[in-house]
Chains A and B, each alone.
Chain A
Amino acid sequence: MENMTLNLRIWRQASDSDSGELVDYTVRNVSPDMSFLEVLDVVNDDIVKSGNEPVAYDYDCREGICGSCSLVINGVAHGPREATTACQLFMRHFSDGDTITVEPWRAKAFPVVKDLVVDRSAFDRIQAAGGYVSFDTGGACDANEILVPKEAADAAMDAAACIGCGACVAACKNASAELFVGAKVTQFALLPQGQGERDRRVLAMVEQMQEEGFGPCSNEGECQAVCPKEISVAHIQTLHREYTRASMRRIFGAG
């Protein structure tokens, strides 16, 4: 594959209070083996050389495991490849002459810090509201001391694959965080260690989710389609069961 010339339309916004706009940049000599973030680095080199402010964007691991990168590429969170973070999206999936739009996650709960960087601390606050096991589990016991059915262990593992990138929120027309919260709730609800705080956890996490301003779930499933870890909407359905169950137990005085 030949090197490409690409036309990038990148969202520039000085701060959350600024209105922001798409700015065009042409990048030449893009190798098909470059990642999308490397292309942004090249764009930034050019911008810096011309004495201007580089494009701010989030990244850390660049290997698809930390959940930092957060780009809406051509209208789809993390771009056109399924089960792929923006940092693992390689330019061989684009063609010479393409115009590519790059925007930040857009949600009331994720205010823009600058350009393509958004503040995702709302997710941390949801986690802090209950996404953990608080009691002392004692020293390491024998691996088979607490029996966990294989299906439950596998499903909990699937839920725990969530890297908290926020693509689910970015993709949802309601900016709903239910896929994220569903994964975090399910991960514990399925395991024996999660039982003690099962009701309290889901009630507190959902309350925090609402307080942050995330929207409701309309069951379209754009979230699952863009999730780099392929977290299933089944976790949203589990969240609905868990929240309803905990609410009923509270209403009827059992919780």
Chain B
Amino acid sequence: MSAVATFLTSTIGRKVLMALTGILLILFLVTHLAANLLILVDAEAYNAYSHALISNPLIYIAEAGLIALFVAHFASGILIYAQGRAARPSSYKDDRWAGGTSKKSFSSSTMILSGAFFLLFVPLHVWGFKFGTYYDAGNGIRDLHRLVVEEFQNPLLVAFYVVGMAILGLHMWHAFGSAFESLGVTQRDTLRRTGNVIAVVLAGGFMIIPLAIFFLGGGQ
């Protein structure tokens, strides 16, 4: 096996890959949230922003990159989960958390489930918005704002997004600190606290959009 393959298929290399792809996905989510909050502020600015994005040919490279990050992340996530299960074939009859300095949590214990949810969520989300109804805002600009506001009149869809973003927060609660630890950073308590703030800000920030549109009508 080549030295590169040995590294990438090692338990540690796989975690380094998970951490790097995970951190880049979080960075994407931060920019995605910042841009989407424009929906609540200024419809025209939001449409102009999304037009600028999709009219740039580099968007295809960026999209391919995002897909690659996502696939690499969840593929290694599933492999890591499977390896962990294989290493503990018989389970404890009495299994308790150690407490003390341990950072084991509901979040860390459900990473595979919260992660798997995004395999469902992301395709539905892209299908609903990117490939949703095309409204023209004039001048060849897509009125994406109108689509978002229309979609979020549906209480079921609002509920799906609120629950979905809670699950995102659940993944992030453990993910952020864990990623930097996988990369060898030792400031554990600081990382965990930062991760918890990021989890709440990301999940809460994304939740505000459907909730504000549904209850307040959303910045027309």
Contact = CB atoms under 8 A, between A and B. Distances in A.
A178 B179 CA distance: 16
A218 B184 contact: no
A239 B182 CA distance: 10
Contacts of A72: 92, 94
Given A219-B181, A237-B185, A247-B3, A214 B100 contact: no
Q: How large is the interface on B (under 10, 10 to 19, 20 to 34, 35 or more residues)?
A: 35 or more
Contacts of B16: 240, 244
Given A108-B86, A244-B13, A247-B10, 10 more contacts: A75-B96, A76-B96, A103-B94, A106-B90, A107-B87, A217-B15, A218-B111, A218-B178, A237-B185, A247-B7
A43 to B, nearest CB: 18
Contacts of B4: 251
Interface centre among B84, B96, B111, B183 (most CB of A within 10 A): B84
A171 interface: yes
Interface stretch (A58-66, A142-150, A220-228): A220-228
Question: Which 4 interchain pairs have the tightest Cβ spacing?
Answer: A174-B84, A215-B87, A75-B96, A241-B184
B98 interface: yes
Interface of B: 3-4, 6-7, 10-16, 80, 83-105, 108-109, 111, 174, 177-178, 181-186, 188
A173 interface: yes
B181 A109 contact: no
Contacts of B7: 244, 247-248, 251
A210 B188 contact: no
B104 A106 contact: no
Interface residues of A, number: 52
Interface in A155-180: 171, 173-176, 178
26 contacts: A22-B93, A72-B92, A74-B94, A75-B94, A101-B94, A106-B88, A106-B91, A171-B98, A174-B88, A175-B87, A215-B83, A215-B88, A216-B11, A218-B108, A219-B174, A219-B181, A220-B102, A221-B104, A224-B101, A236-B181, A240-B182, A241-B184, A243-B12, A247-B7, A247-B10, A247-B13
B94 A221 contact: no
A125 interface: no
B12 to A, nearest CB: 5
A82 interface: yes
**Most chain B CB atoms below 10 A, which of A74, A215, A250:** A215
Contacts of A225: 98-102
A58 B41 CA distance: 67
A238 interface: yes
A101 B92 CA distance: 10
Nearest to B178: A219
Contacts of A214: 11, 87
A108 B182 contact: no
B186 A237 contact: yes
Contact of A173 (B13, B88, B94, B183): B88
Contacts of A175: 84, 87-88
Contact of B98 (A226, A234, A247): A226
Given A220-B108, A243-B12, A247-B13, A108 B87 contact: yes
A189 interface: no
A213 interface: yes
Interface centre among B16, B94, B98 (most CB of A within 10 A): B98
Nearest to B105: A220
A241 B181 CA distance: 10
B92 A106 contact: yes
A174 B84 CA distance: 4
A244 B12 contact: yes
Interface string A79-105: 000100000000000000000010100
A8 interface: no
A112 to B, nearest CB: 9
